């Protein structure tokens, strides 16, 4: 389907949503528009009211919003004090103690565990006591490297209860990446499990933690959850302790540590344009409000709903949309340990059917993969409980959108294509299910408090009106935006607030079409998005040049029908070091897996005699991108290149390996 065609295709809000027994909270486009207008014109009034409605405050705030982008000192609900765990657990444990808070759908579909709010409170308190006993206090960082099990949620909330700051590292990261993150945040305690299980395969989490902690005295304690019960896990005396043993002896109540609205809630490392990953810091009040408000309005979550976000807790989507958003609302949230295709490609849909899921949230990669495997896997399940189905992480192509809408949603569910980032904390552009007519492939309109701007990338001038394309920025602060990069505020300013003064810069390109709909076009910086996982080109390049035979490396994102983008790496070699190129290429792929993690594996590595460069020696990644994406005929002016003759050689090399 061409972009123009899809731009002209508008789907109204499905009739069933408006006429069904559960009325959407916002049920007309006019209502959305007037609320949005109010939220951006009078953010202080709008968000003060929302913060009191959504959150329990131990100390009231008086100043709703202070600071600005110029100074990088944005702060919300300033005098306010609260506790995130109290908001996500205690108050619901008192009001609805027997309501299920977490449904854990294990890797084996026969393993289902449910925790009520009352049980969750006791577990969180026990863990808070264990951590307190290990001297974890307000402001301390705790690293978490865990599979998708209830203990991960319990560990995160136990940190929040103490006012400690969790730093969850996705369990697909390598030991080296884990080490780097533990060292950067200075955590003294790590929480992990003996092993993880995903799609029937074992992930040796504890072994990877041991490898990451080879430096003596890097941390004081490692708490280990017995998950698979493997016998091969090794425990280091005086450092490693078993979760179940500590918990058995812990009191199931621990008072909350009330913190300032602006105290940090968590760090989450993400990839940027330059090499080292950055610890994106989120604070308590603003983040929680953004999480809860978006879950309620964008997923239209009501009291009896069963809400499911299929992401991993190791990424921001898991933080905001598995844990903090739904639990802050007192909803039932699903925790999915497995993969979309295990044991069969019906797994997602069987899970929806089994638990009577009402909201379902996943990534375009999964939708594309399942669409390719055939309709029969969907058709055999009853998906009639679904009302809202969401997509996140990368642009969703119109074909995948249509399949999701028709096959999964039976043309009766709202599809919400939600655009946001680790740094934005919660969704910033998305339809609202009962209000927004959608266009397949467009994230549509801004959420409350978000004033988007499309800027001319060269001049920084705002492009007003419709039918404009440029880079996407946000014009005024919103509650859940990241406040800083841990220990590196300079980098925060340089990355987000300095490139276009007065704006928050997203790093994405975007179009506002003739009807005012926003279309996200993908990253304009050196970030690659593979299956919704963010990777920086320079991080991968650094991994490649660790090999002693590699002289230079250039990494770019190529187009991939399934994963959105994929990694192509070009390497030049030092003279006379390699006889077997194929073996070297295999070794380089392994090197990247080892340095970063299996999900960062390059799809193609090309060994070439030279890289395209300017006369001053700067690598022209733009040229490589065009060659890989079959656009070598659109290179434009190559006269500034040091050696334009290199192009044909590169084109041949790429063709050869396809």
- Is residue 534 a contact point for ligand WTA (CB under 6 A)? yes
**Residues of this chain, 552-571, that bind ligand WTA according to CB under 6 A:** none
The SS3 assignment for 325 reads helix
- For ligand WTA, which residue of 116, 529, 537, 563 counts as binding (CB under 6 A)? 529
Residue closer to ligand WTA, measured from CB, 193 or 270: 270
Phi, psi (5° rounding) for residue 165? -110, 115
Phi, psi (5° rounding) for residue 473? -135, 170
- Is residue 507 a contact point for ligand WTA (CB under 6 A)? yes
Residue closer to ligand WTA, measured from CB, 128 or 295: 295
- Shortest approach of ligand WTA to residue 178 CB, angstroms? 18
> In 3D, which of 192, 145, 160, 542 has the Cα closest to residue 312?
145
Residue closer to ligand WTA, measured from CB, 6 or 418: 418
- Is residue 417 a contact point for ligand WTA (CB under 6 A)? yes
Positive/negative CA dihedral, 375, 381, 386, 390 = negative
Residue closer to ligand WTA, measured from CB, 82 or 413: 413
> In 3D, which of 64, 76, 40, 53 has the Cα closest to residue 446?
40
- Is residue 286 a contact point for ligand WTA (CB under 6 A)? no
Greatest C-alpha distance within the chain? 73
Residue partners of 474: CB distance under 8 A and separation at least 6: 424, 428, 450, 451, 452, 453, 503, 504, 506
Positive/negative CA dihedral, 27, 29, 31, 33 = positive
Stretch that binds ligand WTA, among 295-303, 346-354, 388-396, 574-582 (CB under 6 A): 388-396
Stretch that binds ligand WTA, among 14-22, 32-40, 172-180, 503-511 (CB under 6 A): 503-511
Q: Using an 8 Å Cβ cutoff, are 624 and 570 in contact?
A: yes
- Is residue 316 a contact point for ligand WTA (CB under 6 A)? yes
Q: Before 636, cis peptide (omega within 30)?
A: no
Percentages helix, strand, coil for the chain, rounded to the nearest 5? 35, 25, 40
Alpha helical stretches, state H, 87-213? 91-95, 117-133, 150-162, 175-185, 205-212
- Shortest approach of ligand WTA to residue 78 CB, angstroms? 27
Residue nearest ligand WTA by beta-carbon distance: 422
> In 3D, which of 310, 280, 323, 271 has the Cα closest to residue 480?
280
Long-range contacts of range 119-124, CB-CB < 8 Å, 24 or more positions apart?
A: 120/89, 120/93, 120/153, 120/154, 120/157, 121/89, 121/90, 121/93, 121/252, 122/252, 122/253, 123/150, 123/154, 123/247, 123/252, 124/85, 124/89, 124/154, 124/157, 124/158, 124/161
* Dihedral angle, C-alpha 296, 302, 306, 311, nearest 10 °: 0
Stretch that binds ligand WTA, among 225-233, 299-307, 393-401, 597-605 (CB under 6 A): 393-401
Stretch that binds ligand WTA, among 373-381, 461-469, 482-490, 516-524 (CB under 6 A): 516-524
# residues near ligand WTA by CB under 6 A: 23
CA distance 246 to 254: 15
- Shortest approach of ligand WTA to residue 624 CB, angstroms? 20
- Shortest approach of ligand WTA to residue 524 CB, angstroms? 9
- Is residue 392 a contact point for ligand WTA (CB under 6 A)? yes
- For ligand WTA, which residue of 523, 568, 613, 626 counts as binding (CB under 6 A)? 523
DSSP line for 350-396:
HHHHHHT-SEEEE-HHHHHHHHHH-THHHHTS--TT--EEEEESSPP
- Shortest approach of ligand WTA to residue 424 CB, angstroms? 8
> In 3D, which of 151, 142, 194, 140 has the Cα closest to residue 169?
142
Residue closer to ligand WTA, measured from CB, 421 or 484: 421
Residue closer to ligand WTA, measured from CB, 174 or 506: 506
- Shortest approach of ligand WTA to residue 564 CB, angstroms? 9
- For ligand WTA, which residue of 405, 419, 496, 500 counts as binding (CB under 6 A)? 419
Stretch that binds ligand WTA, among 123-131, 412-420, 537-545, 633-641 (CB under 6 A): 412-420
- Shortest approach of ligand WTA to residue 242 CB, angstroms? 33
- Shortest approach of ligand WTA to residue 391 CB, angstroms? 6
**Residues of this chain, 618-657, that bind ligand WTA according to CB under 6 A:** none
Residue closer to ligand WTA, measured from CB, 330 or 499: 499
- For ligand WTA, which residue of 394, 402, 525, 547 counts as binding (CB under 6 A)? 394
- For ligand WTA, which residue of 123, 180, 240, 508 counts as binding (CB under 6 A)? 508
- Is residue 318 a contact point for ligand WTA (CB under 6 A)? no
**Residues of this chain, 422-451, that bind ligand WTA according to CB under 6 A:** 422, 443
Stretch that binds ligand WTA, among 133-141, 302-310, 351-359, 389-397 (CB under 6 A): 389-397
DSSP line for 384-417:
TT--EEEEESSPPPHHHHHHIIIIITTT-SEEEE
Residue closer to ligand WTA, measured from CB, 420 or 448: 420
- Shortest approach of ligand WTA to residue 406 CB, angstroms? 19
Residue closer to ligand WTA, measured from CB, 419 or 570: 419
Residue closer to ligand WTA, measured from CB, 221 or 319: 319
- For ligand WTA, which residue of 421, 436, 444, 511 counts as binding (CB under 6 A)? 421
- Shortest approach of ligand WTA to residue 395 CB, angstroms? 4
Dihedral-angle region of residue 300 (phi above 0 means left; psi in -120 to 50 means alpha; beta otherwise): left
Stretch that binds ligand WTA, among 224-232, 235-243, 378-386, 387-395 (CB under 6 A): 387-395
Residue partners of 92: CB distance under 8 A and separation at least 6: 99, 101, 117, 327, 330
Q: Using an 8 Å Cβ cutoff, are 314 and 170 in contact?
A: yes
Phi, psi (5° rounding) for residue 149? -130, 160
Token couple for 301: 């979550």
Residue closer to ligand WTA, measured from CB, 317 or 365: 317
- Shortest approach of ligand WTA to residue 320 CB, angstroms? 8
- Shortest approach of ligand WTA to residue 392 CB, angstroms? 5
Residue closer to ligand WTA, measured from CB, 192 or 444: 444
CA distance 516 to 431: 13
Please, is 338 exposed, middle or buried when counting C-beta atoms within 10 Å of its C-beta (0-12, 13-18, 19+)? Answer: buried
- Residues within the interface to ligand WTA (CB under 6 A): 270, 315-317, 392-395, 417-422, 443, 506-508, 520, 522-523, 529, 534
């Amino acid at each position: 389907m061409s972009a123009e065609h899809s731009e002209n295709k508008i789907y109204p809000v499905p009739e069933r949503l408006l006429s069904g027994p559960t009325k959407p909270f916002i049920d007309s486009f006019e209502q959305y528009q007037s609320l949005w207008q109010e939220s951006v014109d009078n953010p202080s009034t709008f968000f003060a009211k929302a913060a009191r409605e959504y959150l329990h405050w131990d100390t009231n705030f008086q100043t709703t919003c202070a600071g600005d982008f110029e100074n990088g000192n944005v702060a919300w609900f300033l005098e306010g004090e609260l506790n995130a765990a109290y908001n996500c657990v205690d108050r619901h444990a008192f009001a609805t103690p027997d309501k299920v808070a977490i449904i854990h759908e294990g890797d084996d579909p026969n393993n289902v565990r449910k925790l009520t709010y009352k049980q969750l409170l006791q577990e969180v308190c026990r863990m808070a006591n264990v951590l307190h006993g290990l001297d974890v206090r307000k402001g301390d960082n705790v690293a978490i490297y865990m599979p998708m099990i209830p203990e991960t949620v319990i560990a995160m909330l136990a940190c929040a209860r103490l006012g400690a700051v969790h730093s969850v590292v996705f369990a697909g990261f390598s030991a080296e990446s884990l080490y780097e993150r533990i060292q950067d945040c200075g955590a003294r305690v790590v929480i992990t499990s003996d092993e993880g299980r995903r799609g029937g395969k074992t992930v040796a989490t504890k072994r990877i933690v041991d490898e990451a902690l080879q430096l003596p005295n890097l941390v004081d304690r490692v708490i280990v959850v017995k998950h698979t019960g493997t016998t091969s896990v090794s425990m280091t005396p005086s450092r490693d302790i078993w979760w179940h043993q500590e918990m058995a002896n812990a009191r199931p109540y621990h008072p909350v540590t009330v913190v300032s609205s602006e105290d940090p809630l968590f760090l989450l490392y993400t990839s940027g344009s330059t090499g080292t990953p950055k610890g994106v810091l989120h604070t308590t009040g603003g983040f929680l409000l953004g999480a809860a408000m978006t879950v309620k309005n964008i997923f239209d979550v009501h009291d009896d709903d069963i809400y499911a976000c299929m992401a991993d807790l190791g990424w921001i989507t898991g933080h905001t949309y598995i844990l903090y958003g739904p639990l802050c609302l007192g909803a039932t949230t699903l925790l999915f340990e497995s993969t979309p295709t295990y044991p069969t490609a019906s797994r997602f849909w069987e899970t929806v059917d089994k638990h009577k899921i009402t909201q379902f949230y996943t990534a375009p990669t999964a939708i594309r993969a399942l669409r390719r495997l055939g309709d029969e896997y969907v058709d055999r399940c009853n998906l009639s409980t679904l009302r809202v189905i969401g997509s996140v992480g990368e642009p969703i192509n119109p074909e995948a959108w249509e399949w999701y809408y028709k096959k999964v949603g039976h043309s009766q569910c709202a599809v919400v294509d939600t655009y946001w980032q680790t740094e934005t904390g919660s969704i910033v552009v998305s339809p609202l299910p009962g209000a927004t007519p959608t266009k397949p492939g467009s994230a549509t309109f801004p959420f409350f408090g978000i004033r988007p701007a499309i800027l001319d990338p060269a001049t920084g001038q705002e492009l007003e009106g419709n039918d404009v394309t440029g880079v996407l920025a946000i014009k005024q602060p919103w509650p859940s935006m990241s406040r800083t990069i841990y220990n590196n505020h300079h980098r925060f300013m340089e990355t987000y607030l300095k490139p276009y003064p007065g704006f928050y810069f997203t790093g994405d390109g975007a179009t506002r079409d003739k009807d005012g709909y926003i279309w996200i076009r993908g990253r304009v910086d050196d970030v690659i998005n593979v299956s919704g996982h963010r990777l920086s080109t320079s991080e991968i390049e650094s991994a490649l040049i660790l090999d002693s035979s590699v002289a230079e490396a250039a990494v770019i994102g190529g187009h991939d029908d399934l994963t959105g983008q994929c990694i192509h790496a070009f390497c030049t070699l030092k003279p006379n070091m390699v006889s077997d190129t194929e073996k070297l290429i295999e070794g380089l792929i392994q090197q990247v897996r080892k340095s970063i993690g299996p999900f960062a594996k390059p799809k193609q590595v090309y060994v070439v005699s030279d890289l395209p460069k300017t006369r001053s020696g700067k690598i022209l990644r733009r040229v490589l991108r065009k060659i890989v994406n079959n656009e070598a005929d659109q290179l434009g002016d190559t006269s500034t290149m040091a050696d334009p003759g290199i192009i044909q050689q590169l084109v041949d090399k790429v063709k050869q390996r396809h």
